[in-house]
């Protein structure tokens, strides 16, 4: 049987690092096993689901290279959920309940105040036909709960190991709302069963759902998949990420923070595993290194500073072809491999290349506070064409003529040629600046 996994976001907001990590882990798992990856939009919450969020999810996954082999949308499948619900009603596993939210809150509060778990008391199961008829004549419409079997539920989780729940310790879940809409707990199982999902890899916030859903799989006659529940990412202080979603959305990491897709993927593939975090330039490398057994149960911390450092290390390795589009989008259409190789060691974000483009291709006000020395150096500038050896030849001649060396030799030249104290190696920059500009800058002119 071939491996099939799914990533099932609700299009009710932007994808953030926590969600997309689960997408990535599912995708890597599928690729490693030669299986397939389904993107499923859990969009049955019609008030909160928005087309722009669905588009955003597809854009973010595409940007990361997480292509999907299959696509499904829950809102296309209401007919199927109705069919399954009808069968569960017929077999008595789905029963009508008439409590209002207020009544349920009171019941819960009373149980909690007695120190008991807030498990639904199944009062609705004790209603007679006459009771139901009366409630309905009062205008109440039922919601429907799934009748759990009070037996142990067990599975071997790929991350958590053996997991055990007692059915009697769980509340019968509501699967159909009062307005007839099916809820996630049901729809997810129907989809996973119909689409032959073999492995459900999701966050540990779903562990209790899994116990319930295993019984639903059994009730609808679906094969129970293998489960893996990953600990959720927290921030550096151990707080959940949910409060800071805005700044940690994939869209803002891409558009505002200038994060490269492979930097994000390299971090998220390894966070919370026993592997060291290293920049990788292709998803194939991450597939080769992936093994779900490396995912630890400890809570992984997401640190934006670590991501930015990894972004810098990624840029230092990326070849020109991989950033040409981004450079063009910055307006640097004429940037070439020589420019990119000269400046990439100094970048944390591609957008910073603009500053170095200005140094090599636009007028710069030089810092020329040692004019006599700079004039001597200018007189020794070799004729063009210039290449990567020109800087060495030229500064060798300047050294021989002036007797200067080290910082005394190089710093005044750097400050005159670039207007700054630091930057990419001048061996690489000098041919890009060119002889005409170099001569003027050494003479203290803005050029």
Annotated binding site for ATP: which residue ranges?
243
Establish if 9 lies at the interface with ligand GLU (CB under 6 A). Answer: yes
Nearer residue to ligand GLU within complex by CB, 184 or 373: 184
Q: Environment class of residue 118 by beta-carbon count within 10 Å: exposed (0-12), middle (13-18) or buried (19+)?
A: middle
Residue 174 — φ and ψ, nearest 5°? -75, 125
Segment interacting with ligand GLU, rule: CB under 6 A, options 2-10, 140-148, 354-362, 404-412? 2-10
From the CB of 158, what's the least distance to ligand GLU, in Å? 14
**Min separation Cβ 184 and ligand GLU, Å:** 6
Q: Which of residues 182-201 bind ligand GLU (CB under 6 A)?
A: 184, 188
225 is an interface residue for ligand GLU by CB under 6 A: no
CB of 177 to ligand GLU, least distance (A): 16
Query: CA 267, CA 277: separation in Å to the nearest integer?
Result: 6
Q: Does 10 bind ligand GLU (CB under 6 A)?
A: yes
Interface with ligand GLU includes 16 (CB under 6 A)?
no
Among 5-13, 141-149, 223-231, 242-250, which window interacts with ligand GLU (CB under 6 A)?
Answer: 5-13
Give the up-direction half-sphere exposure of residue 279: CA atoms within 13 A in the CB hemisphere.
Answer: 18
Q: Closer to ligand GLU by CB, 217 or 320: give it.
A: 217
Give φ, ψ of 234 to 5 degrees: -125, 170
Residues making up the chain, counted from first to last? 447
Q: DSSP secondary structure string, 273-342? A: BSSPP---S-HHHHHHH--GGGB-SSPPBP-HHHHHHHHHHHHTT--HHHHHHHHHHTT-TT--HHHHHH
Q: Which is nearer to ligand GLU, 54 or 398 (CB)?
A: 54
Instruction: Give me the DSSP letters along 102-139.
Output: HHHHHHHHHHHHTT-------GGGG--HHHHHHHHHTT
Site for ligand GLU, residues 30 to 59, rule: CB under 6 A: 42
Can you say how many angstroms the Cα of residue 236 is from the centroid of all Cα atoms in its chain? 17
Stretch that binds ligand GLU, among 3-11, 31-39, 105-113, 383-391 (CB under 6 A): 3-11
Q: How far is the CB of 14 from ligand GLU (least distance, A)?
A: 13
Total residues in contact with ligand GLU, by rule CB under 6 A: 8
- Residues in contact with 155: Cβ distance below 8 Å, sequence separation at least 6, in sequence order: 162, 163, 210, 214, 224, 226, 227
Q: Using alpha carbons only, give the angle 226, 231, 235 rounded to the nearest 5 degrees.
A: 155
Q: 358 to 387, contacts with ligand GLU by CB under 6 A?
A: none
In terms of CB distance, is 136 or 205 closer to ligand GLU? 205
Residue 404 interacts with ligand GLU (CB under 6 A): yes or no: no
Q: Is 202 in the site for ligand GLU (CB under 6 A)?
A: yes
Q: Which of 364, 352, 375 has the alpha carbon at shortest distance from 418?
A: 364
- Range in contact with ligand GLU (rule: CB under 6 A) among 6-14, 158-166, 281-289, 437-445: 6-14
Least distance in angstroms from the C-beta of 232 to ligand GLU: 11
Q: Which is nearer to ligand GLU, 8 or 88 (CB)?
A: 8
**Cβ partners under 8 Å of residue 439, min gap 6:** 378, 381
Judged by CB under 6 A, the stretch of 7-15, 173-181, 316-324, 327-335 that binds ligand GLU is 7-15
**To the nearest whole angstrom, how small is the minimum distance from the Cβ of residue 54 to ligand GLU?**
12
Distance CA 11, CA 53 (A): 5
| Span near ligand GLU by CB under 6 A; candidates 8-16, 52-60, 258-266, 363-371 | 8-16
DSSP-assigned states of every residue in 375-404: HHHHHTPPPSP--TTHHHHHHHHHHHHH--
CB of 438 to ligand GLU, least distance (A): 58
Residues that bind ligand GLU (CB under 6 A): 8-10, 42, 184, 188, 202, 206
């Amino acid at each position: 049987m071939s491996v099939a996994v799914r990533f099932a976001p609700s299009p009710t907001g932007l994808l953030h690092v926590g969600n997309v990590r689960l997408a990535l882990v599912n995708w890597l798992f599928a690729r490693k096993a030669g299986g397939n990856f389904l993107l499923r939009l859990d969009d049955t919450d019609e008030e909160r689901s928005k087309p722009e969020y669905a588009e955003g999810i597809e854009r973010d996954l595409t940007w990361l290279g997480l292509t999907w082999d299959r696509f499904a949308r829950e809102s296309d499948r209401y007919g199927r959920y109705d069919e399954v619900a009808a069968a569960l009603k017929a077999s008595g596993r789905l029963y009508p309940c008439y409590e209002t939210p207020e009544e349920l809150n009171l019941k819960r509060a009373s149980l909690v105040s007695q120190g008991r778990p807030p498990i639904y008391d199944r009062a609705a199961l004790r209603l007679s036909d006459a009771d139901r008829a009366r409630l309905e004549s009062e205008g109440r419409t039922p919601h429907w709960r799934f009748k759990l079997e009070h037996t142990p539920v067990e599975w071997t989780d790929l991350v958590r190991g053996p997991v055990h729940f007692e059915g009697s310790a769980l509340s019968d879940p509501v699967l159909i709302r009062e307005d007839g809409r099916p809820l996630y707990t049901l729809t997810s199982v129907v989809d996973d069963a119909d689409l032959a999902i073999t492995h459900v890899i999701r966050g540990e916030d779903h562990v209790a759902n899994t116990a319930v859903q295993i019984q639903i799989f059994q009730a609808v006659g679906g094969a129970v998949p293998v489960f893996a529940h990953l600990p959720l990412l927290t921030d550096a202080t151990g707080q959940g990420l949910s409060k800071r979603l805005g700044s940690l959305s994939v869209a803002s990491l891409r558009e505002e923070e200038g994060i490269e897709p492979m930097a994000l993927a390299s971090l998220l593939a390894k966070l919370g595993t026993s592997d060291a975090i290293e920049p990788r330039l292709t998803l194939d490398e991450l597939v080769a290194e992936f093994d779900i057994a490396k995912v630890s149960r400890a809570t992984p911390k997401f640190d934006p500073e670590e991501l930015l450092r990894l972004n810098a290390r990624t840029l230092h390795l990326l070849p020109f072809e991989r950033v040409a589009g981004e450079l063009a989008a910055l307006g640097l259409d004429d940037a070439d491999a020589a420019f990119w190789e000269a400046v990439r060691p100094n970048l944390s974000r591609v957008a910073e290349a603009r500053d170095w483009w200005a140094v090599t291709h636009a007028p710069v006000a030089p810092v020329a506070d040692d004019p006599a020395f700079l004039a001597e150096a200018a007189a020794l500038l070799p004729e063009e064409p210039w290449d990567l050896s020109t800087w060495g030849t030229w500064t060798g001649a300047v050294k021989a003529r002036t007797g200067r060396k080290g910082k005394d030799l190089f710093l005044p030249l750097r400050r005159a040629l670039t207007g700054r104290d630091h930057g990419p190696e001048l061996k690489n920059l000098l041919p890009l600046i060119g002889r005409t500009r170099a001569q003027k800058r050494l003479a203290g002119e803005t050029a």
